[in-house]
Homo-oligomer: A and B are copies of this chain.
Amino acid sequence: MAGNTIGQVFRVTTFGESHGVALGCIVDGCPPGLEISEADLQVDLDRRRPGTSKYTTQRREPDEVRFLSGVFEGKTTGTSIGLMIENTDQRSQDYSKIADRFRPGHADYTYHQKYGHRDYRGGGRSSARETAMRVAAGAIAKKYLKQEYGIEVRCYLSQMGDVTIDNVDWDQVEQNPFFCPDASKLDALDELIRNLKKEGDSIGAKLTVVANNVPVGLGEPVFDRLDADIAYALMGINAVKGVEIGDGFDVVNQRGSEHRDELTPSGFKSNHAGGILGGISSGQEIVAHLALKPTSSITVPGETINVDGETVDVVTRGRHDPCVGIRAVPIAEAMVAIVLMDHLLRHRAQNAGVETATPKI
């Protein structure tokens, strides 16, 4: 049973390979009547798009998304929405040398073993290019959440290599190509990337996603908890190796008396929980962190095997990002938005008639 779908009520199913004809997806379950245009989606696609700064890959794709269905006279109809981005800058000649060898750290080996056959051009289906459709679908969710419930989902770079970022000024995030919320760290980031490019190497990153104005009550215990579904969605982004909610791994060395967020008539005193209790949103800010590995597409030569099991060298010659974490910012937002959208609709299904109990703090 293949796994190209995310969501139960707000369902996103994607298709497409890095160097195929097109990328696309179907968004099923979007409420009718939402005003939406391709321009609404293009904003986030452009934030993810390669070639926009010297810090990211120079592959140039306009990444223009088109609605193929589900939107009529500027509004969603409630039927399935077809989306497509045609691949234009394919340069498949770049990849001929790696058709028969498994790039270490990539999915070449595992796809080959699983399917017995794979599209080797640019990583095929396993390429991060596929995430463009997640961003497009996520933009629909973001618009609905914002417009109908005032919910905002935003993300920033919280660490790259040893450059940690503690001051969060949301106004800064969109002002620099790193999505960095602290202007004082921009020089350090610039230097880090420049050195990596010189060395032909790459670096990992940590991102932080925050959703605010999320109503209390979203999440479905005991398995489809909001935190469990956020973990699933974020871990499912290419290169992600870790996910935290709220204090995350810091809880290992915390006391119960320190961690538990006490309640007062005017709200919670703290937010160690990251806005989720028992798998259900508490009405506080939802806070999640994710760790992205350094890309394996580097010019430092590496050792691997080919499909015949013989030792061969591998050197990536294509255009790649020194830190894939940067462009993952809109992807992480999209994934959390899709999860929240799905849980919002799921909650409505079962609880439409319920009077929300007082006090709602």
Contacts and interface: CB of A to CB of B under 8 A. Distances in A.
Among A5, A32, A113, A357: residue with most chain B CB under 10 A: A113
A3 to B, nearest CB: 3
Interface in A158-207: 159-162, 196, 201-206
A270 B107 CA distance: 16
Contacts of A240: 227
A40 interface: no
A4 B201 contact: no
Number of identical protomers: 4
Given A206-B249, A293-B254, A351-B114, A29 B2 contact: yes
Interface stretch (A8-16, A46-54, A57-65): A8-16
Contacts of A25: 26
Given A246-B241, A349-B9, A117 B77 contact: yes
A146 interface: no
Nearest to A23: B69
Contacts of A241: 227, 244-249, 251, 273-274
Interface residues of A, number: 167
Nearest to A133: B222
Given A114-B78, A235-B243, A305-B264, A31 B351 contact: yes
Contacts of A303: 262-264, 269
Interface string A273-285: 1100111111100
B68 A249 contact: no
Contact of A265 (B11, B161, B245, B309): B309
Given A72-B119, A241-B251, A4 B28 contact: yes
Interface string A242-262: 111111111111111111111
Contacts of A352: 31, 345, 348, 352
Contact of A222 (B11, B14, B256, B307): B14
A216 interface: yes
